[in-house]
Amino acid sequence: MSDRSLVQIAFYAALIAALGLLPPIAIPFLGGVPITAQSLGVMLAGVMLGPVRGALAVLLLLFLVALGAPLLSGGRGGLAVFAGPSVGFLIGWPVGAFVAGLIMQKTANYNVLVSAAFAAAIGGIGVIYAFGIPGLVVMTDLTFAKAAMGSAIYLPGDLVKVAIAAIVAQTVARGLPHALMSRA
């Protein structure tokens, strides 16, 4: 791995952490569920860095969290987050980033906005929930339907993030084309 890749991975991990430290926005029409920008960072990692580096950036962040750095939204961190009910979502993060990056690569001929939205939706919502909800079932012994219902309150916020991720990807593609490494 080149120096450049290593630093990019570290910067994206830092970016996901920084996004998690921004104060959450409570959107009233979504029932006041607080939206944090952190999973947006996960989507962006895949969309911008591509599958391997994107997934490594997310893994690096989770590694720091496991070491005891309070870098998850709301200042959470340490091993406790991996013992809690939402551990499945965290496991889904690197996989989601990987899938998002892969989709960006495979759809390189399409418009950036469209393929980034698609990549963020499949990787950042589909994959993450596909790990998160079964994780919730295992950790809490709830039925699948109830676990899915409980997770659904975050869905509107996640859709907003998909839109933002797509717009950010397009802005970056215009402002610094070679920075969209998933397509380089």
Using CB under 8 A, list all residues that contact another protein.
1-4, 6-15, 17-19, 21-22, 37, 40, 44, 48, 60-61, 63-64, 66-71, 74-80, 82-86, 139-143, 146, 150, 164, 167-168, 171-172, 175-176, 179
User: What is the nearest approach in angstroms of another protein to the Cβ of residue 123?
Assistant: 17
Instruction: Say which amino acid occupies 59.
Output: L
User: What is the nearest approach in angstroms of another protein to the Cβ of residue 98?
Assistant: 18
User: What is the nearest approach in angstroms of another protein to the Cβ of residue 146?
Assistant: 5
The residue (of 111 and 140) whose beta carbon lies closer to another protein is 140
Residue with tokens 């997310």: 58
The residue (of 3 and 109) whose beta carbon lies closer to another protein is 3
Cα(167)–Cα(148) distance, integer angstroms: 28
Return all residues near 162 (Cβ < 8 A) that are at least 6 apart: 43, 117, 120, 121, 124, 125
Number of other residues whose CB lies within 10 A of the CB of residue 95 = 17
Hey, what are 36's tokens?
A: 């944090």
The residue (of 4 and 109) whose beta carbon lies closer to another protein is 4
The residue (of 12 and 109) whose beta carbon lies closer to another protein is 12
Cα(179)–Cα(44) distance, integer angstroms: 12
